[in-house]
């Protein structure tokens, strides 16, 4: 929609409130509301002022004034607010220079799309994320000088087969056996359908919803692929909708990659393809029906994967999932159909338009705008420099003998390792000023100071199991 169409739409729908939203640096949606009387044609150029010093990873208090400028193309009606509310996603700008703010994740995504076009390689990058998540009935946690604990619970939890539930009716999926039993084992079919239909009512195309492998309500809802920036916008709506639908049912959703010990974690397998003038560039007559362009793109992902993980797997908890020897795709190889490789070529269809590559390492704790942009930049670097991906690995990587596995590189073992890799390998992200040196350095600094070091300093409950009687 254009600005005048947004205003007409708001009048037609009897909108009373406008909610302005934007993404902070680490990846949490922020908002403030204004009465509909404050929204006019000029608002889409002048924007709304706010204090950026209170936003994580942004401005200091002596330079805090910033603008958020609504994008009329993002207008949607919030499905949860009692008062009719129009939501507009905004872009962040400096109030003095009017220039976009380099640490605005949405601006990074816009620049990634612009850079793709400038290369002449293609004009559209399609992104299709498969974000997994858990639905829990209860979550409690605390940390202090003398105490640290967490406790999650679910009516589906395999550990609850002996709990008094007056009555306990059983049918709780065993560890690693949650894929795809029908109800009554699957207890969240109706809730996931409500999530799916709410997304569709917002204009977000959904391909399917289902229970995932783990016990205790692990699930997945897949959105149909869209251009990069549009998918970044959809990803924030996706998390918002799922959390709020669950909340309405007195449940909670988490995109934390590894909330349970001893069962599968949540990944976000990310499909990517590049098109030019309506034609797919990844279809060809090479391995698994790929083109040279696609193979070079895979080469770029594999070359830069360790640095990418600092953005696509950006939490310390991410690396509880990325552990060698388990099912997570930590081995940096590619293959057709083989789900044990970090990069897979889906083989459901031979159609050229369906040909894409699937990067399986990312998880849903990431900031979608930044993660999708970083993956695209790695793919483009591979294409521009014709980086060969090596030979495909069409074996079950987890069955390889140690001497053969030693030749397969691995993803980082910790967030700190990933951040160090990003510090050394970031030139591919700086092309076209998509990611700036300031963004990279601030990202590393923020993650080290706010996440890596605080985790290092705190005793872990399991250390008491191991060492208290020493």
Q: Looking at residue 86, what DSSP letter applies?
A: E
Q: Does residue 180 have a cis bond before it (omega within 30 degrees)?
A: yes
CA 441, 446, 451, 452 dihedral sign is: positive
Beta bridge partners of 19: 33, 87
Specify the pairing of strand 218-223 against strand 226-227. unpaired
Q: Considering 339, 388, 417, 425, which one is annotated as catalytic?
A: 339
Is 130 a residue of the active site?
Answer: yes
Specify the pairing of strand 268-276 against strand 279-280. antiparallel
Q: Considering 220, 222, 363, 416, which one is annotated as catalytic?
A: 220
Using alpha carbons only, give the angle 55, 59, 62 rounded to the nearest 5 degrees: 120
Is 212 a residue of the active site?
Answer: yes
Specify the pairing of strand 334-336 against strand 343-345. parallel
Q: Considering 113, 132, 363, 416, which one is annotated as catalytic?
A: 132
Is 140 a residue of the active site?
Answer: no
CA distance linking residue 447 with residue 416, whole number of Å? 9
Dihedral over alpha carbons 319, 270, 355, 212 (to 10 degrees): 80
CA distance linking residue 136 with residue 149, whole number of Å? 17
Q: Considering 8, 46, 51, 190, which one is annotated as catalytic?
A: 51
Is 339 a residue of the active site?
Answer: yes
Q: Considering 192, 211, 251, 360, which one is annotated as catalytic?
A: 360
Is 220 a residue of the active site?
Answer: yes
Q: Considering 113, 130, 416, 451, which one is annotated as catalytic?
A: 130
Q: Does residue 167 have a cis bond before it (omega within 30 degrees)?
A: yes
Tell me the CA distances in angstroms from 387 to 9, 137, 466, one per residue in order.
Answer: 49, 47, 46
165's CB contacts (< 8 A; 6+ apart) are none
Q: Considering 78, 263, 358, 451, which one is annotated as catalytic?
A: 358
Is 360 a residue of the active site?
Answer: yes
Q: Considering 24, 156, 212, 381, which one is annotated as catalytic?
A: 212
DSSP 117-182: HHHTS-SEEEEEEEEEEEEESEEEEEE-SS-EEEEEE-TT-GGGTTS--SS-----PPTT--SSPP
Q: Considering 21, 103, 192, 269, which one is annotated as catalytic?
A: 269
Q: Which residues are marked as active site?
A: 51, 130, 132, 212, 220, 269, 339, 358, 360
């Amino acid at each position: 929609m254009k600005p005048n169409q947004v205003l007409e739409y708001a009048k037609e729908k009897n909108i009373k409130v406008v909610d302005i939203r934007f993404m902070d640096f680490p990846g949490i949606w922020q908002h403030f509301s204004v009465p509909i009387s404050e929204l006019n044609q000029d608002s889409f150029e002048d924007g709304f002022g706010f204090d950026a010093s209170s936003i994580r990873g942004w401005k200091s208090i002596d330079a805090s004034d910033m603008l958020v400028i609504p994008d009329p193309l993002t207008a949607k009606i919030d499905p949860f607010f009692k008062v009719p509310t129009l939501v507009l996603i905004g872009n962040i700008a400096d109030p003095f220079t009017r220039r976009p703010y380099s640490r605005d994740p949405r601006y990074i995504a816009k620049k990634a799309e612009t850079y793709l076009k400038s290369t002449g390689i293609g004009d559209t990058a399609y992104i299709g994320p498969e974000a997994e998540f858990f639905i829990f009935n209860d979550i409690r946690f605390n940390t202090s000088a003398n105490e640290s604990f967490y406790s999650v619970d679910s009516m589906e939890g395999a550990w609850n087969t002996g709990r008094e539930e007056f009555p306990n009716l059983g049918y709780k999926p065993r560890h690693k056996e949650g894929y795809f039993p029908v109800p009554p084992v699957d207890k969240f079919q109706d809730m996931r359908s409500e999530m799916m239909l709410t997304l569709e009512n917002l204009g977000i195309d959904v391909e399917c919803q289902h229970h995932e492998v783990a016990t205790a309500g692990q699930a997945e809802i897949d959105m149909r692929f869209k251009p990069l920036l549009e998918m970044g916008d959809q990803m924030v709506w996706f998390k918002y909708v799922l959390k709020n639908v669950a909340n309405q049912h007195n449940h909670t959703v988490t995109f934390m990659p590894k909330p349970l010990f001893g069962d599968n974690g949540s990944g976000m397998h990310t499909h990517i393809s590049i098109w030019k003038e309506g034609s797919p560039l990844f279809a060809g007559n090479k391995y698994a029906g790929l083109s040279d362009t696609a193979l070079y793109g895979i080469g770029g992902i594999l070359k830069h994967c360790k640095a990418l993980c600092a953005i696509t797997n950006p939490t310390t908890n991410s690396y509880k999932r990325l552990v060698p020897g388990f099912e997570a795709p930590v081995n940096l190889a590619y293959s057709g159909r083989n789900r044990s490789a970090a990069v897979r070529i889906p083989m459901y269809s031979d159609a050229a338009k369906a040909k894409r590559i699937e990067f399986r390492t990312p998880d849903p704790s990431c900031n979608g705008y930044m993660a999708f942009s970083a993956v695209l930049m790695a793919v483009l670097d591979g294409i521009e420099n014709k980086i060969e991906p090596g030979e495909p690995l069409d074996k079950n990587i987890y069955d390889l003998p140690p001497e053969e596995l030693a030749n397969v590189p691995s993803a980082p073992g910790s967030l700190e390792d990933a951040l160090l890799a990003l510090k050394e390998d970031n030139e591919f992200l700086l092309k076209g000023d998509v990611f700036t040196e300031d963004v990279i350095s601030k990202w590393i600094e923020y993650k080290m100071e706010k996440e890596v070091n605080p985790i290092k300093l705190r005793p872990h409950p399991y250390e008491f199991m191991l060492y208290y009687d020493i």
